[in-house]
Structure 1
Amino acid sequence: MLITEDKYFIFDKPRNENFVYKTKYCITVMQCIGYKVLKTIFRKKASDDKKYYVSICGIFKDEAFYLKEWIEYHKKAGVDHIYLYNNNSTDNYLTVIKPYLEEGYIDLINWPKSQAQMEAYHDCFNRFRNETSWLGFIDIDEFIVPIENKSVKEYFKEHAYEQSILIYWKMFGSNGLIHRDIKRPVTKDFTSCWYKYDDIGKCFINTEFEISDKQPILHHMLWTKRGVFNMPPVNCCGKICPRDWYNPADRDVFPIQINHYVLKSYDEYMSKVNKSDVMFTQNPKGEEHFRRHDRPSTSTDFTISKFLEK
């Protein structure tokens, strides 16, 4: 029997919780004991002396309509700096981000390689790790929302000794919109969301550590390393997560989340999937993906509004 959710999460991929799964689960629990020891041995505080404390890296292609809101929001939410990788955009993105470039809030890196998103992330880490204490990798449709803290920076200050932190998606649906004026804010037009968290998210790394090559898609499961030792991320509940299907939690509302506006309106979604992007030459997602992600959006979440008022 396939299981599609548990107490806290809707699973991105249904699970067959058979004997093999339960065996792997028990092994993972035992492994976490060892990882906890490693985590203690190699414990190192994120630096307070770098130019920025918390920064994000994003890569975009022809997303000028969404850039200003995304940048302005994270500026208000307490992100110190943004590294933006332009992947062959042909729209007016430069006009949109020019004020932020001039004030120094953004570094713009032209990245002409096709479907090289992970390579761009590694480049960002290697190029800028010495000027930021924490670096996260998120997309232009993702907004970091601290729940218990006043800002993103305050949250990471309180977790300065972690190596890598996994923050889960709160998935937002279409609000029943087929068409939409895309000049309107995404964060105000879409408030319907999943009734539980997605069991996938994005990671931030303490740049005192190296990035491990254990996970090829590093922004979902960012392992760190010190010498020959590889260490998995902890999630925002403080639990070690060595497998992408192992996500222990102990509360209904997490202290921080990433609002993922994966669909927007139907027209926006179809426009997105019918063109290439930073990851896919031909996007494999279609109408079934839209329906599957819109169907569980039976709750609402207005937490992000505390920053929108600013």
Structure 2
Amino acid sequence: MSRSPRFKLTACAIFREEAPFLAEWIRFHQNVGFEHFYLYNNFSTDDFKAVLNPFIQEGLVTLVDWPRPVGQLSAYRDCIRRRWREALWIGFFDIDEFLFAPDGRDVPSVLSDYRDLPGVCVWQAFYGSSGHVERPERPVVEAYTMRAGADITTVKTILNPRMVYRVGVHQSKFLSGEGLDTHRRTIVPGMPPKLDILRINHYWSRSLADLDQKIRRGDASTSALRDRDWHVAFESKLNVESDDAILKAMQRAG
């Protein structure tokens, strides 16, 4: 007799030097319906353990030490290999990405409309520094409200771990069918994003001081060094329009 998964919705993320942001990210996603977090530490030297210990004691976080260069995809594969029976859905996204339903619904109830799909691709809105040179003493979702236009976007995937055979950073390959967006569209380059049912706010730079740290930290998905000039130029495109949909969704949910 097959057992149903213990969790409806979990998240997997790899992180490095994210201690100041972990607690807000976990609590936010717990509030929108994520029941457990598989977090892979990738060479952090900050006080992440002190931040995560209460969540581990609570049974909310499973912490995995993952000291592998360019460790993102191998961490994702490890999560699927170990946890495929445990969760109905696993979302693969980062600590600077906040996933929510703009109408304030919890995410599992939204996903119940997509149980026939092996994966749901969620579009991102990219947020810049909103003019903050140094990190403000406010939650990320309140501090950064300026974002890029719809021409700068990508997707991350919430997937059925029993159906995936090749996990990707953005999209994955499945044994049957394909990951579609919330309007059941196949993802193709240049298509307009849909942010109305589910969306991800990607706080790409946070403050300019945080962006500087991000450039120096490097990337978990590639060994290439980050190009400072490119990053600074890209950030300048991410403060085009004001968008506080995440705060309105939190009010509706509350």
Counterpart CA distance in 1 for 2:3 and 2:150 is 35
Match of 2:48 in 1: 93
Which amino acid letter does the alignment assign opposite residue 174 of structure 2? T
Match of 2:21 in 1: 66
Report the CA distance between 1:292 and its aligned residue.
Answer: 2.4
Counterpart CA distance in 2 for 1:197 and 1:127 is 37
Counterpart CA distance in 2 for 1:116 and 1:247 is 30
User: CA 1:97/1:236 → structure 2, altered by over 3 Å: closer, same or farther?
Assistant: same
Match of 1:292 in 2: 234
Match of 2:198 in 1: 256
Match of 1:195 in 2: 149
Which amino acid letter does the alignment assign opposite residue 225 of structure 2? N
CA RMSD of the aligned region, Å? Answer: 2.2
2:172 equivalent to 1:222 = yes
Counterpart CA distance in 1 for 2:214 and 2:199 is 24
Which amino acid letter does the alignment assign opposite residue 44 of structure 2? S
Match of 2:34 in 1: 79
Q: 1:155 aligns with which of 94, 110, 113?
A: 110
Q: 2:180 aligns with which of 234, 243, 268?
A: 234
> How many percent of aligned residue pairs carry the same amino acid?
27
TM-score (norm 1): 0.74
Counterpart CA distance in 1 for 2:3 and 2:113 is 12
User: CA 1:155/1:112 → structure 2, altered by over 3 Å: closer, same or farther?
Assistant: same
| Deviation string, structure 1 residues 79-132 (Cα, Å, up to 9, x no partner) | 111100111211110110111100101111111112111010011011101000
Which amino acid letter does the alignment assign opposite residue 225 of structure 1? L
**Structure 2: gaps spanning 5 or more residues:** none
Q: Which protein is bigger by CA-based radius of gyration?
A: 1
Counterpart CA distance in 2 for 1:299 and 1:248 is 17
Indicate the SS of the match to 1:67: helix
Counterpart CA distance in 1 for 2:163 and 2:241 is 38
Task: Decide whether the 8 Å contact of 2:126 with 2:153 is kept in 1.
Answer: no
Task: Decide whether the 8 Å contact of 1:203 with 1:221 is kept in 2.
Answer: yes
| Deviation string, structure 1 residues 42-98 (Cα, Å, up to 9, x no partner) | xxxxx9921000111001111101111111110111111110011121111011011
**Structure 1: gaps spanning 5 or more residues:** 1-46
Counterpart CA distance in 1 for 2:142 and 2:104 is 21
| Deviation string, structure 1 residues 187-244 (Cα, Å, up to 9, x no partner) | 111000123263411011112313237xxxx021212114xxxx43211221123x4x
Q: 1:301 aligns with which of 240, 243, 246?
A: 243
Task: Decide whether the 8 Å contact of 1:194 with 1:298 is kept in 2.
Answer: yes
- Residue-pair matches, total: 251
Counterpart CA distance in 2 for 1:115 and 1:221 is 18
Match of 1:43 in 2: none
Which amino acid letter does the alignment assign opposite residue 221 of structure 2? M
Which amino acid letter does the alignment assign opposite residue 221 of structure 1? Q
1:20-35 alignment, distance < 5 Å? none
Counterpart CA distance in 1 for 2:128 and 2:79 is 31
Report the CA distance between 1:282 and its aligned residue.
Answer: 5.2
User: CA 1:107/1:307 → structure 2, altered by over 3 Å: closer, same or farther?
Assistant: farther
Indicate the SS of the match to 2:17: coil
1:65-214 alignment, distance < 5 Å? 65-148=20-103, 150-181=105-136, 183-196=137-150, 198-212=152-166
Counterpart CA distance in 2 for 1:295 and 1:210 is 35
TM-score (norm 2): 0.90
Which amino acid letter does the alignment assign opposite residue 205 of structure 1? L
Indicate the SS of the match to 1:304: helix
Report the CA distance between 1:166 and its aligned residue.
Answer: 1.0
